[in-house]
Structure formats: C-alpha cells, structure tokens
A and B are shown apart, each in its own frame.
Chain A
Amino acid sequence: MPFQRYLLGLGFLSPALLVLAGLFLMPVALTGIIAFTNMSISTGVSGGAHVITGNLLTGLRDDGVEPAALDRLAETVFEVTPEALARARAAGVDPAFVADIEERLVGRRFTDGRAFERELKGLPHRPRAIRDLKVAADLFGASILNTRFADAAAARQAVVGVLPDAPEATVDRIVAASYTGWQWTTGNFARLLSSPDTLRLIVNTVFYVAATLSFTVFVGLFLAIGTFYLPPATAGVFSVLWLLPRLTPVVLYAVMWKWFTWEGGFVYTAAEALGLPAFNYMKGSVPTAWTIVILVNGFIGASFSMILFSSALKAIPIQQLWASEVDGASRWQQVRYIVLPQLRWPILFVVSYQTLSLLSSYQEIWLTTNGGPGRTTSVWALESFNTALNNYTGDLQYGLGAAMAVMLVVVGVTLSVIYLRLFRFDDLVGRPKIEF
C-alpha cells in the first residue's frame, strides 16, 4: 500500500509544508528576486515614468555623454503659444499685457530668457515691477528638465525635439537613464563586493557570533554543571534566576539594559559613587558597547543552553558518577572525563543552532546600541535590515538590503548543511516504528 502510506505521510507533513512555504520559501524567493533589482524608495516597487533631472544630467556628464547636448537639454525655451497665453491669463497676469504679447510676439521662440524679457519690456502694457515681469516671462518658459513622460516613446520625442541632430545612441542612453522605476541589475552584489564597509561588517559579524556563542556555551555549561552538583532547592533558585533573560519579553529586556547602562542608570550611578569612569556605556565607547551587545545576547543564549545541558546531565545514570568516584576520579576529573564527553551532542547542537540564530538575529542590537557608536557594533543582519527597511534618511534600498539578506541565507544554508552532516541527520531519522 505505498500510495496510502505516502498520502498519510503528506497529511502529517502538510501543516509543516504550508508553514515552510509561507514563512520560509516565499520570503526567501522574494528576497532572492528583489536582490537582483535596484528597487528603492525612489523607484517604488511598481513601474515608473521617465524624468530628466539635473542630477541625472550631472551623472550622464560624468559617464561621458557629450556636454553640449546635455547643456541644451537643461536649457529653458520661451515660446509664445496659445497654451502659454492661456496659462498666463489663468495665472492672473494683466489681460492687457497678455493681449500685447499675443498681438506682437505670437509664434516667436527665444532660447535666451534675457532676450525674451527685453522684448516684454518694450510692450505698452508692461507691468511696473520687474518681479511681475519675470513671473510673467517664466510662464512662457518650457524645459524638458523635470517633466514627467509616461513612457519611453514620449521621452524620446521630447529629447529628439531639443536635440534633433544628436546621434541615436546618445538619445537612447538619455532615455534609458531617465527611467524612474526599478530595473534588473546585479549591481547590488558588485557594490557589496567592492565596498570597503563589507569587510568591516563581516569582521563585526564574525566577532559578534563567535564571542556571543562562546559566552553562551561556557556560561551555559558552567551553570548546568554547577546546578547539577548543588542541592536541588538551591539549584532550582539559580535555574529560575538564569532563565529570566529568556522569559522576559525582548523589548522589556532591552529597556532594562538601557536603564542599567545609560547616564543615571544603575551601573552609571554605582561607578560614579566608586569614582570609576561613568558614561553612557551603551553608546559611549566601543569596548563597552561590544561588551553590552555580547552580554545582552549571551545571557539569553546561556539560559537556553543551560536548560539543554541540564537535561542532558540528568540523563547520565547516577551510578556512572558513583563508579567514577570509586575509580578515584576527583570532582574535576569526573566533569572532565565522564560528564563533558557525554554532553558532546548537546554542545554541538547549541553551537550549530545558536550560530544560525545569532547570524540572523539583530533585534537585541537594534534595541540597545543600534550598531553604535557610529556603526562599530553593527552586524550584517542589522545592516541589511537598516538598508532595506529602516533608514534614518528614509532612503530605503530594498534591492541592496535584499542582496545582503540573500548572502546571509546562503551562509546560513551552507552552515546548516555542514551541521546536519556533523549531526548525522540520517542516523537521527530512523526507520518508522509503525508499519502500515
């Protein structure tokens, strides 16, 4: 009955598959797609229009487009057309003055603003104030600079109108560059590879993961073994105390650390009273900021590993400990030769699980130092989050952030595969015990 068996298996798996698809595969796929675009807050996530801006022209000039053509694109042309006259009337320019313009200048075209203004000054109903005259003159000006064109064809027409004798390639280049929507690109990865910030971020991330992980494993081991040898009541009190970081909601936990380390906080006040350097430890210096980042995350990890190690310790039969004492082992030798070797798998598990979760977790850092002072305690995941979703200037770069996230996923998946081999996952998943 293989079919029936597969169906039952699928039935059991379906909730997990749904969760996997919705919460892992889809976001990963979307991130993967966005990583190959230049999406940002200015391109938007839907389509765009064509706009030639001053910045664009500067960029094109830097890229080697003929400067003369670009200058002409930037020029304003004054043309007395019926539309422009209507615009002037609607704007409240003296009707008599408008009538003068219509009568004497209709159909005329000026490429120089001064020349047009001179003509206007010669009209009988010209305004007294020069300012009013300039306002009126501006109403006849038109430029393709900062004009929105709905599609590439309209933009091309406008550019060709200004530059009738420009080569085809130049026009194409200008039109393509004027697109404001997102485009496919591998530029994000190129930028990450070439940016000097990348190396610093990687060093920061490796340091953060390694230091926090060591704290987690060593403190967890110390606590688990310590409480294992304590009388049960005392051990219970210690265990509960050390569980608090894990039990406390993360935001509250971060706020408590701030109370602890900021100006006027507990440590600050204590240090001041003792004559030790007192400052905002969280943001005041790089070593204290790193210490706090590692402690904040390490305490949470330590309570997690303490639980795991404690339960593994309780699984060691008491007779083995007795036997080792009878065999002459001191407490330290007992821990070294009997207890620790049997904690090998839980330690490996904590190391692998915590590496992955530390690599991708940034919330504690975000809520405490937020990568500061400067960007000294920023890590890859936090930087990715800030780039894509939480930029102070509001310039959210979805594409670049997604590219960073994709690299994190690649590293994470590679590490998981290594760890699964280390754990001999195929051994863990044995043959089913129930036969259908």
Chain B
Amino acid sequence: MRLTICDFTKTFDRTTVIKDMNLVVEDGEMLALLGPSGCGKSTTLFAVAGIHRVDGGAILFGKRDVSHLPSQKRNVGVVFQNYALYPHMTVFDNIAFPLTIRREGKADIDRKVRAIAELAHIGDLLARRPSQLSGGQQQRVALARALVRQPDVLLLDEPLANLDARLRLEMRSEIRRIQMETGITSILVTHDQVEAMSMCDRIAIMDQGAIRQVATPSEMYRQPASRFVAGFLGNPPIVFLDGEVTGDGGFASRGVSLPLPGRLRHLEAGRPISLGIRPEHVGTSGGARVSGQVVFVEPQGRETLFDIELEGGAILRSIQPAGDDARVGDRVDWAVDSDRLLVFDRHGNAV
C-alpha cells in the first residue's frame, strides 16, 4: 500500500520540530529514514503509527486519510528499538496479541501465528517467555507480532540498535528477506548508513526536521544533493577542501590544485566552491595527482586507511587494498580520480 505524507507538521510544546514534510513510500517499497539523532525521524515514524498526533498536513495509507485516526484503527505494525515485547506473555501470546484483541477465532489465530513464526524462524520458541530469548530472537518475535495481522505499513524504529555486530548483520538480511516475502510497504528508521543502504530500496535522509534528499542508496552515494548528505554517507567519511575555481577549469586551495570533473569545466573562475574527495578515489587510479606525506596509517584487514598531509597543510584520506607500500613519514605521489570529485557551492548545495 502506498504511503503518502503530505505537508506534515509536528509540534512539541510550541516547538515545531518538523515543518511541511512531504514523502511518498511506494507500494511494497522499503524506505529508510536516515539521519543523526534528534533529526525527527522517529517522530515522523510515530506520527505514521498514530502514537504521536499530527499537528498539520495529512498522512494517507493508499487513499485513506489516517491523519486523525488513533493508532488502534490504522493497521500498522511497529517494531520498537527495545522490541516492547510483553514480558508476562509467551512468545505465542505476544504474536497472537493483535489477533486476540480483534477476537479472531482460536483456530485462525493458531494458524496465522504458526505461519508467521515459521517465516521468522521462531517456530520452536513459541512456548517461551521473552526473558528466555536472546536479543536476535526477541527481534524476530517483535517482527512477527508486527506482521501477523498483515499491516498496511510496517514501521521499524532502529530495530537493530540493541544487537551485537554479528547479529546485526544476520538480522539485516533477515528483515529484508521477510519484508520482501510479505511485500509490505515499510519504513526503517536508523542512524546507521550501512543499515539504510543495505536494507532499503530508497533512502530519505533527514536533518533538523527536514528531508534533505530522497534517492536510491547508490544514487545518493554517488550524487549527494548537498554537502550534508555527502558528509553523512560514507565510511571512512569524505574530506572537504574549501577553495575556488581557477581559470583553466580547475580547483585551487591552500597549495592544492586539482582539475574539476569534466562536466564542470565551464564554471567561472574565482567562484568559491568546496570539493568533496572520497577516500576510495585517492591513491588507486585517475588522471590527477597529489603529493604529500603519510601521517597516519590504519590497517583494517582487507583495506588500509591512510591520512596524507599535503604541502599546504590540508589532509586527504585514502583507502586502498591492503599492502605494505607506505608507512608513516613516507612521501607519496598518488593518483586522484578527478572525474568522481564532488563539488558544492557556498551554501553546501551540489553543483
């Protein structure tokens, strides 16, 4: 079911935290709401769930306006960060709760619960209580409970935040598998870019109560709409150099000069811009070159991360397949893939 958020405004104690927000999640799509803490992504999610009231605008499930319906009448499934399982009920009763409340038949409930438990791979845990489950199992139960009554929209609030690194990897693909199998329109709230990029069809990146860009993960990584988006995505993070356009379609800053990407050669000279250079575009291939001294080396196993200090004092970051070719103090002269450089204007918008 298609979810439409239209001019949504949310106010807490006369402080507007979200103003005139617009977002469409297509039928069967999984969309990530990505952003730093306090950007309003959970607020948006809870407004869709009906837990928070809508102070302005409208929320539509398909063509149905649910803006002023209580959460009981919205038919949404929510997975909370701490799972919010009912500690006094067994796994079966937890999953069956939404159906029990609707007074569905016993046989119906039993069949649906067992089917969804099978899907979530927790068929053998139904008699246990939440306190007897591991974090990953609790997560699966929470997911099963959210899905069992076939919600119009599935909402996931930082579902992986309380899991350890290994489980997080496992549950990432599990949640995506289950979402794709059920085909339920979903929103995932997360502050983790890897989760957002690996699990979702599209990402809506939020900052200070507003959506900055909505795009597919790879599009957003390659063509960020703003300096904020470019800085938020990517690990290790991008490096920005502030400078200006030179006469020959290049860029100059504090002793660094690099050619601009081919499509931007026409920029007028003297225009102040900033250049975003991702670590993977330094030191491997490309037409331009920079030289400097290695000041920091961080082996990461498969790859090694270098910081190199250029003559003007600017620091560039480079990530390369592991090898032992450079050490701290070495002088290096590395290639830069200038066609993939990102260029932003004074206001931080992509040029």
Contact check, A337 vs B97: say whether CB atoms are below 8 A apart: yes
Which A residues are in CB contact (< 8 Å) with B86? 320, 323-324, 337-338, 341
Tell me if A328 counts as interface (CB < 8 A to partner B).
yes
Which B residues are in CB contact (< 8 Å) with A319? 80-82, 84
The 9 tightest CB contacts between A and B, nearest first, are: A319-B84, A323-B84, A327-B98, A341-B88, A319-B80, A328-B101, A325-B71, A320-B84, A326-B78
Tell me if B35 counts as interface (CB < 8 A to partner A).
no
Which A residues are in CB contact (< 8 Å) with B49? 322, 326
Tell me if A329 counts as interface (CB < 8 A to partner B).
yes
Tell me if A81 counts as interface (CB < 8 A to partner B).
no
Find the A residue at minimum CB distance from B75.
Answer: A328
Contact check, A326 vs B97: say whether CB atoms are below 8 A apart: no
Which A residues are in CB contact (< 8 Å) with B50? 325-326
Find the A residue at minimum CB distance from B146.
Answer: A326
Which B residues are in CB contact (< 8 Å) with A338? 86
Contact check, A329 vs B72: say whether CB atoms are below 8 A apart: yes
Tell me if A58 counts as interface (CB < 8 A to partner B).
no
Please judge, given known A-B contacts A333-B101, A342-B87, A342-B88, whether A325 and B82 are in contact too, CB under 8 Å. Answer: no
Which A residues are in CB contact (< 8 Å) with B89? 341
Which B residues are in CB contact (< 8 Å) with A320? 84-86
Q: How far is the CB of A329 from chain B (nearest CB, A)?
A: 5
Q: How far is the CB of B340 from chain A (nearest CB, A)?
A: 43
Find the B residue at minimum CB distance from A338.
Answer: B86
Total interface residues on A, using CB and 8 Å?
18
Contact check, A322 vs B80: say whether CB atoms are below 8 A apart: yes
Contact check, A317 vs B71: say whether CB atoms are below 8 A apart: no
Contact check, B84 vs A317: say whether CB atoms are below 8 A apart: yes
Contact check, B101 vs A327: say whether CB atoms are below 8 A apart: yes
Which A residues are in CB contact (< 8 Å) with B78? 322-323, 326
**Roughly how many angstroms separate A317 CA and B72 CA in the complex, as a whole number?**
19
**Roughly how many angstroms separate A327 CA and B147 CA in the complex, as a whole number?**
10
With most chain A CB atoms within 10 A of its CB, the pick from B50, B77, B101 is B101
Q: How far is the CB of A189 from chain B (nearest CB, A)?
A: 46
Contact check, B80 vs A323: say whether CB atoms are below 8 A apart: yes
What are 23 inter-chain pairs, A to B, with CB distance below 8 A?
A: A319-B81, A320-B85, A322-B78, A323-B80, A323-B84, A323-B86, A324-B97, A325-B70, A325-B72, A326-B51, A326-B71, A326-B72, A327-B145, A328-B101, A329-B72, A333-B101, A337-B86, A337-B97, A338-B86, A341-B86, A341-B88, A342-B87, A344-B88
**Roughly how many angstroms separate A11 CA and B332 CA in the complex, as a whole number?**
71
User: Which residues 58-83 of B sit at the A interface, judged by CB distance below 8 A?
Assistant: 70-72, 74, 76-78, 80-82
Find the A residue at minimum CB distance from B87.
Answer: A342
Total interface residues on B, using CB and 8 Å?
26
List 4 extra interface pairs beyond A319-B80, A337-B97, CB under 8 A: A319-B81, A319-B82, A323-B78, A324-B97
User: Which residues 310-366 of A sit at the B interface, judged by CB distance below 8 A?
Assistant: 317, 319-320, 322-330, 333, 337-338, 341-342, 344
Which B residues are in CB contact (< 8 Å) with A337? 86, 97, 101
**Roughly how many angstroms separate A431 CA and B98 CA in the complex, as a whole number?**
39
Q: How far is the CB of A229 from chain B (nearest CB, A)?
A: 14
Q: How far is the CB of A363 from chain B (nearest CB, A)?
A: 38
**Roughly how many angstroms separate A325 CA and B80 CA in the complex, as a whole number?**
13
Which B residues are in CB contact (< 8 Å) with A325? 50-51, 70-72
Find the A residue at minimum CB distance from B72.
Answer: A328
Tell me if B102 counts as interface (CB < 8 A to partner A).
yes
Please judge, given known A-B contacts A320-B86, A337-B97, A341-B88, whether A330 and B80 are in contact too, CB under 8 Å. Answer: no
**Roughly how many angstroms separate A344 CA and B89 CA in the complex, as a whole number?**
13
User: Which residues 278-323 of A sit at the B interface, judged by CB distance below 8 A?
Assistant: 317, 319-320, 322-323
Q: How far is the CB of A314 from chain B (nearest CB, A)?
A: 15
Contact check, A322 vs B87: say whether CB atoms are below 8 A apart: no
Q: How far is the CB of B48 from chain A (nearest CB, A)?
A: 11
Which B residues are in CB contact (< 8 Å) with A342? 87-88
Which A residues are in CB contact (< 8 Å) with B46? 322
Contact check, A328 vs B98: say whether CB atoms are below 8 A apart: yes
Which A residues are in CB contact (< 8 Å) with B51? 322, 325-326
**Roughly how many angstroms separate A278 CA and B80 CA in the complex, as a whole number?**
59
Contact check, A326 vs B76: say whether CB atoms are below 8 A apart: yes
Q: How far is the CB of B84 from chain A (nearest CB, A)?
A: 4
Contact check, B97 vs A327: say whether CB atoms are below 8 A apart: yes
Which B residues are in CB contact (< 8 Å) with A329? 72, 97, 101
Contact check, B84 vs A322: say whether CB atoms are below 8 A apart: yes
Q: How far is the CB of B105 from chain A (nearest CB, A)?
A: 16
Question: What 1/0 mask marks residues of chain A from 382 to 407 whose CB sits below 8 Å from any chain B CB?
Answer: 00000000000000000000000000
Find the B residue at minimum CB distance from A344.
Answer: B88
Which A residues are in CB contact (< 8 Å) with B74? 326
**Roughly how many angstroms separate A329 CA and B88 CA in the complex, as a whole number?**
16
Which A residues are in CB contact (< 8 Å) with B71? 322, 325-326
Find the A residue at minimum CB distance from B145.
Answer: A327
Q: How far is the CB of A430 from chain B (nearest CB, A)?
A: 15
User: Which residues 22-64 of B sit at the A interface, judged by CB distance below 8 A?
Assistant: 46, 49-51
Partner of B72, one of A330, A341, A344: A330
**Roughly how many angstroms separate A333 CA and B51 CA in the complex, as a whole number?**
17
Find the A residue at minimum CB distance from B46.
Answer: A322
**Roughly how many angstroms separate A337 CA and B99 CA in the complex, as a whole number?**
13
Which B residues are in CB contact (< 8 Å) with A328? 72, 98, 101-102, 149
Q: How far is the CB of B15 from chain A (nearest CB, A)?
A: 18
Q: How far is the CB of A398 from chain B (nearest CB, A)?
A: 51
Which B residues are in CB contact (< 8 Å) with A317? 82, 84
With most chain A CB atoms within 10 A of its CB, the pick from B76, B87, B145 is B87
Find the A residue at minimum CB distance from B101.
Answer: A328
User: Which residues 72-124 of B sit at the A interface, judged by CB distance below 8 A?
Assistant: 72, 74, 76-78, 80-82, 84-89, 97-98, 101-102
Contact check, A326 vs B88: say whether CB atoms are below 8 A apart: no
**Roughly how many angstroms separate A323 CA and B80 CA in the complex, as a whole number?**
8
**Roughly how many angstroms separate A320 CA and B51 CA in the complex, as a whole number?**
12
**Roughly how many angstroms separate A337 CA and B89 CA in the complex, as a whole number?**
9
Which A residues are in CB contact (< 8 Å) with B87? 342
Which A residues are in CB contact (< 8 Å) with B77? 326
**Roughly how many angstroms separate A244 CA and B80 CA in the complex, as a whole number?**
40
Which A residues are in CB contact (< 8 Å) with B84? 317, 319-320, 322-323
Q: How far is the CB of B193 from chain A (nearest CB, A)?
A: 25
User: Which residues 173-224 of B sit at the A interface, judged by CB distance below 8 A?
Assistant: none
**Roughly how many angstroms separate A368 CA and B341 CA in the complex, as a whole number?**
88
